[in-house]
Amino acid sequence: MTALFLRELQNDQRLFWRSREAAFFTFLLPIILLVLLGSVYGDNDEIEGVRATTYLLAGLLGYGVVSTAFASLAISLVIRRESGVLKRIRGTPLPTAVYLAALIASTLIVVA
């Protein structure tokens, strides 16, 4: 059971890192937004003694985590269901719980 989980986790990680879109929206888009919005607000704006870019950084870190979790897990499950991948996986000896646990663990690895 553990070997199945580790193999599926490895496959999910490989699928994620091969996807240019996933890497862009996970890592590069928050950095681009931080640079663009940070240049608009600048270092002179302060809210209760804290620079606006500090608030912006915290918000964009949250955005990165949430978008990764939703894009990697929810959207990929829907795409796999619509393309028939989940039906094909049900026809294999891989238990459904192991498959879902590997997907969740893969998302947690990317988020962490």
Tell me which of 2 and 65 has the higher pLDDT.
Answer: 2
Measured distance CA(94)–CA(10) in Å, rounded: 14
31 pLDDT above the threshold of 80: yes
Burial status of residue 72 (CB atoms within 10 A of its CB: 0-12, 13-18, 19 or more): buried
Among 18-22, 59-63, 74-78, 97-101, top mean pLDDT goes to 97-101
Residue-range definition of the domain harbouring residue 95: 2-111
Structure confidence by residue, pLDDT tens digits, 44-95: 677 777 777 788 888 888 887 887 777 778 888 898 999 999 999 999 999 9
CA proximity to 105, closest of 3, 2, 9, 7: 9
Spacing of C-alpha 75 from chain mean position: 10
Cα three-residue angle 16-22-28, rounded to 5 degrees: 130
- Total domains in the chain come to 1
